[in-house]
Amino acid sequence: MTVDPHAWLVSLEGVPSAFAGARDGIDVVLRDRGLRRTSPEMTAESLVRGAHASAVLEGSQSTLAEIRGGEADEIAADAVRLSAELLGLMPVLRRQPLQALARMHAVVAVGALPDDRLGRPRDAESAARLRGIAELITAPSEAPALAVAAVVHAELLTAAPFGSHNGIVARAAERLLLAAKGVDEKSLVVPEAAHLALRPQYESNLRGWATGGRAGMHSWLLYAAEAYAAAAEASPLVRDAD
């Protein structure tokens, strides 16, 4: 019998209901506001908003207007470059997640690391952590897809398996998982923007995931459910309708 690595999530107080509420909010936005109004341009807009927010969380000083005007700083340019290729990695993530994660880093870290370090873990311990994270992506699970995405995000960021850009890779993997697992197939919600808007909680709960044991993990998951609700409201489907 295959062990569900996410089964423990179901036992944490408030987690299933929190993720169910977040999923309902996403579904309402995608169904009610998105009906007959989605387009590739909206997906592109969501991706660029996400790239900007993720870059700021990584230390970028660029504004969204500067990114749109082709004047992004190096970190923002890296994030935008990854966003342009991200959804094309969806089939790879489903079948070979380790390869998809390596490709994400290879794309985002061009110029920041020597070519022979692109897509490669820092050391043997990092390689083992990365394999474990890849297994979390493909393992059969009864846990909500949103919870799986949140776990993978936290594991990638706190493990920091690559020599650079770990935060951008972690947030990109989260977005890609939401698409690959059918939560948001057109990638219209903007989780990165939610994390930026909730930055103090985002960063403190990531520290809790890394060091706080079960209580810290519990807090991160409850935070993530809140962030996913905010991610739906950050979608171009909502903001462009206002």
pLDDT in tens, 194-214: 999 999 999 999 999 999 889
Return the half-sphere exposure (C-beta side, CA atoms, 13 A cut-off) of residue 35: 5
- Residue 19: in which H helix or E strand, if any? helix 15-28
String of DSSP letters for 140-203: ---S-HHHHHHHHHHHHHHH--SSS-HHHHHHHHHHHHHHHTTSSTT--S-HHHHHHHTHHHHH
Does 35 have pLDDT greater than 70? no
Domains and CATH numbers, the chain: 7-239 (1.10.3290.10)
The band of 39, judged by pLDDT with boundaries at 50, 70 and 90, is: confident
Question: What SS3 class is residue 113?
Answer: strand
| pTM > 0.75 | yes
Ranges 6-20, 92-106, 124-138: which has the least confidence: 6-20
Q: Kindly give, in sequence order, each residue whose CB lies less than 8 Å from that of residue 81, ignoring residues fewer than 6 positions away.
A: 107, 108, 110
Does 3 have pLDDT greater than 90? no
What is the per-residue pLDDT for 69? 94
Return the half-sphere exposure (C-beta side, CA atoms, 13 A cut-off) of residue 42: 22
Interval 212-234 mean pLDDT: 95
What is the per-residue pLDDT for 10? 77
